[in-house]
Structure 1
Amino acid sequence: MLLKANQLKVFRKDRLLFDIEELAIHQGDRIGLVGTNGSGKTTLLHVLAGQETPDSGTVAATAVCTLLPQLKQGDGRQSGGEMTQTYIERALSRPSALLLADEPTTHLDTEHIEWLEDKLRHHYQGALIVVSHDRAFLDAICTEIWELDHGKLHHYRGNYTHFAQQKELAHRQQVEAYEAYTQKKKQLEHALEKKKKKADKATKPSQKVKSSGPKIAKPYYANKQKKLEKTAKSIETRMEKLEKVEKVKDIQPIQMTQHTMKEVASRTILRVKNVDGKAGGKVLWKQANVEVRGGDKVAIIGKNGSGKTTFLRMLVNGHPGVTRSEAVKLAYFRQDLSGLKADESILQNALKEAVQDETVVRTVLARLGFRGDDVHKPVEVLSGGERVKTMLASLLVSDANVLMLDEPTNFLDLAAVEALEGLLKDYPGTVVFVSHDRRLIEEVATRIFHIHEERIEAFDGTYEAYKQKEEKPAMTNREEELLLIDMQLSEVLSRLSIEPSQELEETFQALLKQKKSLES
């Protein structure tokens, strides 16, 4: 056993964040830690790493533990992806029997996420607890899932897909239990009503019995009424003992108004003709020729720095080589969330540009986790993930028929990612989105725009079909070494730009020489 914790309690002001009776981590464990935003995942990692003291309880570690913290966006000298790669390299290079990783795929492109998967699966020998909202990543590396839910820690065997299947089975069983409960309750209520009516009639003897005289009628009907009342009381007792089953919250279907969608259905609504892409003098792609049709769900994929966001902005802001149908009504989701009014509520923000009725708006908000009085919270008190959900809901219910989304799953917990996935699949309009979330792309995209090798390749079909087309052998040792050298070069260059030194220059030249040797 590498680590054991008992009776852990952590509070945030007066709110109990979590209360965990016991947990243990053994050699070889590969654990995915999941839960909604604010459930305490990051706090739990910090407590286990010894960087935060719980309000009560004990943590005993018998091995070296390394914490890979959640990283912020790059500071200008390094991109977020470069920072993440650097931290991962340092964490994995330390002699550690237990790695606690908080959102390690943040800012990484697909190639580097898959590199990290390979590293953790085939090269890292220690135990692992990882917090991630990347379901494909959790499927690839985890053999157990821990879920923090309403302050309690629940354990599930298998990867994330197995966890989701177990949750779905539990949901179905609860639905069946509730249906059986309501059916039994109705049967007992109906039986009780019948017995009470019979008991009431028993106090009123018929005319024929009345003529026999009161001496016969009174004792007979008194006894009959007593028996019926006793039976009724027995039924009431059975109802009281009937174990109550709570109603399950089902996902409500959404019927969105589609009048603006029909105007562009199946037509070419965006056309890019002979357009070059550049950023700061760097060529991103040459002579792009692609088009988007009404109803398409297009995923823009590619490495960090390949020009995905640049291309999306070009579609949004216009360009001489980009033509757009007059019927297009476009909505753009960007990371700064500049469209939100901080002093207004979630519901007010969502209703501002809505063409759907309030029932639909509230249903969309509920699917994203805002239920009941939650919709009246002002935006200024919301977390980053909650603001993202508010902005996405506002776009989904607006009069737009084309959604342009730049990394919409950043800051979202897994429940919100899956809810957004369902909403985008059901959305009757057109969606063009940039994402590194492979599962989201697999589930939503009907077409792929891949920016690579200074070109934009369009593919009609799903992400899975595209991957099969692009199928290539696993990364060789040489390719992995080149990837690592590229990361090291990036780090050294960043340091050279800040604090030049002869030692760094020599390191840089040695890395270049090593890279040339591998490439030759």
Structure 2
Amino acid sequence: MIIKELMNITYEIGDRKLFDIEHLQIRDKERIGLVGRNGSGKTTLLEIIAGKRNIQSATISGETSATLLPQLKRTDTVKSGGEITQQYIDKALARKTELLLADEPTTNLDTSRIERMERTFERLQGAVIIVSHDRAFLDATCETIWEIADGNVDVYKGNYSDFARQKELKIQEHEKAYENYVQKKQQLEDAIVLKEKKAERATKKPKSLSSSEARLKGAKPYFAKKQKKLQQVAKSIETRIEKLERVEKVKELPPIKMTIPNQESLQGRTIIRADAITQAFGKRVLWNEASFQIKAGEKIAVIGENGSGKTTLIKKVINEESGLSISPAVKLGYFSQNLDGLDPQKSILETVMETAIQDESIVRTVLARLHFFRDTVYKQMGVLSGGERVKVALAKLMVSDCNTLILDEPTNFLDIYAMEELGSLLEEYEGTILFVSHDRMFTSQIAERILAIENKEIIDFHGGYEEFKNRKMKPEVDTKEQELLVIETKISEVLSKLSLEPSETLDKEFQSLLKEKRKLLGK
């Protein structure tokens, strides 16, 4: 059943048309993921659906109640970012709305809370539209993807991974169409050259033609007429080329081979050593004694719940505190969310080049991989969005004289596409990477090893994120949910027996199980 329908929605900001949507439908209990680059209008579209923004042109039908879970959270509180986000979510869910519009609901949440939210969203009775940069979250919660691109909204069936596969197929089809276009154009151009050559020869008397035969045929008029005909054919072929539907070549972002300082001398050597390090604040212990070593070229993710000490750990490494030793050949590059050091008056290219050891062609390639194409590299830093500034700061680190990158939540403020672009760059980076991230797909893509802070211990796991998550055969399930599942299974078994052989014993067992179930549900 369709609960809301949107038609002919036009929205402009100044001279810029944000989007022009012909038709969208929202069905009862539908789970929709809304994706698009930063600035494409995702938040604006949610506000329009919620009736919180005036629009120039639109027809919206359906009296469904909608609750908007906003992207910006309160900051005038002593609570943590994760607690504030959870508070907003709980209040929105308590309204039991028919349509929940959730704008970045995973902001500031650690992995365990995100996974709990996934289970919560599964149980929702109404429809949901989710804006999120967390691809794993969209995979777990959505059955439809809306993509805002070039002012339009395209609808894809399936979750985010299904959407990504469909996009890849579109790219392959585009590449095939481009190849066909180039081949056809080349054939026609070759045919023109051939006709023009024949036209040139047409006015010359063939050697096989005697003078008497030429006089009889009227050589000049005959061959001039033949030349004209060939030229007309060539002209018609040119017209066919002009009428060919032009297909642009798919942009191919080239791989990057960068010079990493001391790379050869460090290869395979231990560059960072932690020996019996521990951390506590007063009586609160973050982790007990732990030891580990990091070798050059490794890509390691530091994971754990909010407040477990991830940022504290990487800062201990950066400051080479007691128990930590770093090879003198290591050149650390640190990324944090504090971007105050970027000069707003300088251009993107100037900002990255001022500390670069790579040549300008490699710098431009890195920037292109992060979607700063051509003249956009001359934009001033002061006009960039938060996500664009993050990309510039990361590019600046990658082309500097660093050989070991330490990244604290590098994907914050990045849209999904920028995260994918950054992920592919870091995969190709040949230096060492130690990073903190709550994004599961990003971590899976980059990490070859995990340092997990769990139960006040640092677990050193040699393997990828998926292997780490699957190391326990039994998945972590909410205890109450598990007990309910066991009781409901027993109830089903008893009911089956009662239908075949009713007895007082089975009836008592059935009543007892019902009582346990009500107690768990708080009834």
TM-score strictly above 0.5 = yes
| Letter in structure 2 aligned against 1:60 | S
Question: Shift in Å at residue 229 of structure 1?
Answer: 2.1
SS in 2 for 1:251: coil
| Letter in structure 2 aligned against 1:458 | D
Question: Shift in Å at residue 59 of structure 1?
Answer: 2.3
Q: Say whether 1:118 aligns with 2:122.
A: no
Change (3 A) 1:280 1:32: farther
Question: Shift in Å at residue 251 of structure 1?
Answer: 2.1
Question: Shift in Å at residue 22 of structure 1?
Answer: 1.5
5 Å-filtered alignment, 1:81-120, equals 81-120=82-121
Deviates more, 1:49-58 or 1:225-234: 225-234
* Aligned 8 A contact 1:404 1:431 in 2: yes
Q: Say whether 1:440 aligns with 2:442.
A: yes
Point out where structure 2 has 5 or more consecutive residues left out of the alignment.
Answer: 484-519
Distance 2:476 2:106 in 1: 20
SS in 1 for 2:470: helix
Instruction: Identify the residue that residue 159 of structure 2 maps to in structure 1.
Output: 159
SS in 2 for 1:2: strand
Question: Shift in Å at residue 26 of structure 1?
Answer: 1.0
Question: Shift in Å at residue 441 of structure 1?
Answer: 0.8
Distance 2:293 2:237 in 1: 69
Change (3 A) 1:395 1:366: same
Instruction: Identify the residue that residue 330 of structure 2 maps to in structure 1.
Output: 328
| Letter in structure 2 aligned against 1:142 | C
Aligned counterpart for 1:369 among listed residues 368, 371, 376 = 371
| Letter in structure 2 aligned against 1:113 | I
What do residues 134-164 of structure 1 show as CA deviations (whole Å, max 9, x unaligned)?
0000000100000000110000000000100
Q: Say whether 1:130 aligns with 2:130.
A: yes
Q: Say whether 1:236 aligns with 2:218.
A: no
Aligned counterpart for 1:476 among listed residues 475, 478, 485 = 478
Change (3 A) 1:75 1:327: farther
Deviates more, 1:80-89 or 1:258-267: 258-267
After superposition, the CA RMSD in angstroms is 1.9
5 Å-filtered alignment, 1:341-352, equals 341-352=343-354
5 Å-filtered alignment, 1:3-82, equals 3-72=4-73, 74-75=75-76, 77-82=78-83
Instruction: Identify the residue that residue 263 of structure 2 maps to in structure 1.
Output: 261
* Aligned 8 A contact 1:270 1:293 in 2: yes
Distance 2:474 2:319 in 1: 36
SS in 1 for 2:101: strand
Q: Say whether 1:397 aligns with 2:361.
A: no
SS in 2 for 1:408: coil
Change (3 A) 1:76 1:294: farther
Percent identity, aligned pairs only?
A: 52
Q: Say whether 1:168 aligns with 2:168.
A: yes
Question: Shift in Å at residue 346 of structure 1?
Answer: 0.8
Question: Shift in Å at residue 71 of structure 1?
Answer: 3.0
What do residues 383-410 of structure 1 show as CA deviations (whole Å, max 9, x unaligned)?
1001000001111111111000000000
Distance 1:31 1:154 in 2: 12
Distance 2:114 2:284 in 1: 25
Change (3 A) 1:279 1:358: farther
Instruction: Identify the residue that residue 463 of structure 2 maps to in structure 1.
Output: 461
Question: Shift in Å at residue 286 of structure 1?
Answer: 1.3
Deviates more, 1:465-474 or 1:71-80: 71-80
* Aligned 8 A contact 2:410 2:437 in 1: yes
SS in 1 for 2:108: coil
Question: Shift in Å at residue 372 of structure 1?
Answer: 1.4
Instruction: Identify the residue that residue 506 of structure 1 maps to in structure 2.
Output: none
Change (3 A) 1:279 1:51: farther
Distance 1:302 1:207 in 2: 89
* Aligned 8 A contact 1:345 1:376 in 2: yes
5 Å-filtered alignment, 1:307-322, equals 307-322=309-324
What do residues 270-290 of structure 1 show as CA deviations (whole Å, max 9, x unaligned)?
011111112465210111211
Distance 2:251 2:299 in 1: 29
Instruction: Identify the residue that residue 511 of structure 1 maps to in structure 2.
Output: none
Instruction: Identify the residue that residue 488 of structure 1 maps to in structure 2.
Output: none
| Letter in structure 2 aligned against 1:8 | I
5 Å-filtered alignment, 1:190-269, equals 190-206=190-206, 209=209, 211-212=211-212, 213-214=214-215, 216=217, 217-269=219-271
SS in 1 for 2:251: coil
Aligned residues: 482
Instruction: Identify the residue that residue 143 of structure 2 maps to in structure 1.
Output: 143
Bigger radius of gyration, 1 or 2? 2
Deviates more, 1:329-338 or 1:207-216: 207-216
SS in 1 for 2:266: coil
Change (3 A) 1:64 1:73: closer
* Aligned 8 A contact 1:334 1:406 in 2: yes
Distance 2:474 2:99 in 1: 33
* Aligned 8 A contact 2:260 2:401 in 1: no
Distance 2:38 2:282 in 1: 37
Deviates more, 1:138-147 or 1:342-351: 342-351
* Aligned 8 A contact 1:269 1:293 in 2: yes
Distance 2:473 2:12 in 1: 49
